[in-house]
């Protein structure tokens, strides 16, 4: 099942993408794709409904119909660093002995095809295609064997990063990770039953038609169940929280010489079964 949020920024409504690519309105069933609507019982009720019985929304998703972030009211946008061995290598860093946790501020979250803004003073804005995990059932100290029962779905995330802010300026990584528009999310939340083998999904990112990233979730160091369990040791996870699980090699920082976004480019990225994002890059 592919669930989404459509409409103008800040006024999104919940929807479902049917097998014909038509968006079906869910707003009579749930107020938003957030909170309790992400719980297992809620998702089961939605899955049991014949999509043809739901109102069709005019327009084409990611065409003349804007899609918003695929989950609403996100409380925490948690990210995992250096979680692909080959990306750690291109960054000149060792694979960490434990997952590296940092944050993107929720004000970074935008729709999958919204513009990405280069912050004022930026000289090293970069791209990162990542597998996002959306929490449906909250909890603390989640046991790894039970971790997937806490997942509402998966999505594509572009972990846009400003490397000078992140690495060369005083402070934590968060400074270069949470700038406005640095978290395109979606196009849809895909439920685990439809994703299947989330450990073997192809993922890629292109800038102006040149493919820089061409990887797979198969090379992830710390897998999804471990990440959920690990994060829940340090914070309670809540419905709508997003865990962005790391990126494969091919980021701009890893090119020889490095390549960074200047403004005017188009990023296009995707993950098998989870959809494609397209963002124009512009100065803030």
**223-256 pLDDT per residue, tens:** 999 999 999 999 999 999 999 999 999 999 999 9
Q: Give the chain's radius of gyration (CA, Å).
A: 18
Query: Cα separation of 204 and 268, whole Å?
Result: 8
**What does the pLDDT read at residue 170?**
86
CB 152 within 8 A of CB 191: yes
Per-residue model confidence (pLDDT) at position 80: 97
pTM over 0.75: yes
The pLDDT tens digits for 204-227 are 999 999 999 999 999 999 999 999
pLDDT at 13: 98
Measured CA to CA, the distance from residue 274 to residue 17 in angstroms comes to: 12
* Among 145, 280, 160, 273, residue whose Cα is nearest residue 217: 273
Can you give the pLDDT at residue 127? 98
Q: Would you list the domain boundaries of the chain?
A: 71-283
Q: Which two tokens stand for residue 128?
A: 């990162």
CA distances from 203 to 2, 218, 228, 248, 259 (A): 18, 10, 21, 8, 20
What average pLDDT does range 107-129 have in this prediction? 98
Superfamily (CATH) of domain 71-283: Fumarylacetoacetase-like, C-terminal domain (3.90.850.10)
Q: How confident is the model at residue 260 (pLDDT cuts 50, 70, 90)?
A: very high
Q: Would you tell me how many other CB atoms lie within 10 Å of the CB of residue 94?
A: 10
Per DSSP bridges, beta strands 116-118 and 125-126 are unpaired
pLDDT at 75: 98
């Amino acid at each position: 099942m592919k669930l989404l949020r459509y409409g103008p920024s800040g006024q999104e409504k919940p929807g479902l993408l049917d097998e014909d690519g038509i968006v079906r309105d869910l707003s009579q069933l749930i107020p938003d794709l957030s909170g309790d609507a992400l719980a297992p019982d809620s998702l089961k009720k939605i899955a049991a409904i014949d999509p043809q019985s739901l109102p069709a929304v005019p327009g084409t998703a990611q065409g003349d119909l804007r899609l918003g972030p695929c989950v609403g009211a996100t409380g925490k946008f948690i990210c995992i660093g250096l979680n692909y061995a080959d990306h750690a290598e291109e960054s000149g860093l060792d694979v960490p002995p434990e997952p590296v946790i940092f944050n993107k501020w929720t004000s970074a979250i935008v729709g999958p095809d919204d513009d990405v803004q280069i912050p004022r003073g930026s000289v090293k804005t970069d791209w990162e295609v990542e597998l996002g995990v959306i929490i449906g059932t909250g909890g603390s100290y989640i046991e790894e064997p039970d971790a997937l029962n806490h997942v509402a779905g998966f999505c594509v995330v572009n972990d846009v990063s400003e490397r000078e802010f992140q690495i060369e300026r005083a402070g934590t990584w968060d400074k270069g990770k949470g700038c406005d528009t640095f978290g395109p999310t979606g196009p849809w939340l895909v439920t685990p039953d439809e994703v299947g083998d989330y450990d073997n999904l192809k993922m890629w990112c292109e800038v102006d038609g040149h493919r820089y990233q061409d990887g797979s979730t198969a090379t992830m160091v710390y897998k999804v169940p471990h990440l959920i369990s690990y994060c829940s040791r340090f914070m309670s996870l809540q419905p709508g929280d997003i865990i962005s699980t790391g990126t494969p090699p091919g980021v701009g920082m890893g090119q020889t010489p490095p390549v960074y976004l200047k403004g005017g480019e188009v990023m296009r990225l995707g993950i098998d079964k989870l959809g494609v994002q397209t963002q124009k890059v512009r100065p803030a």
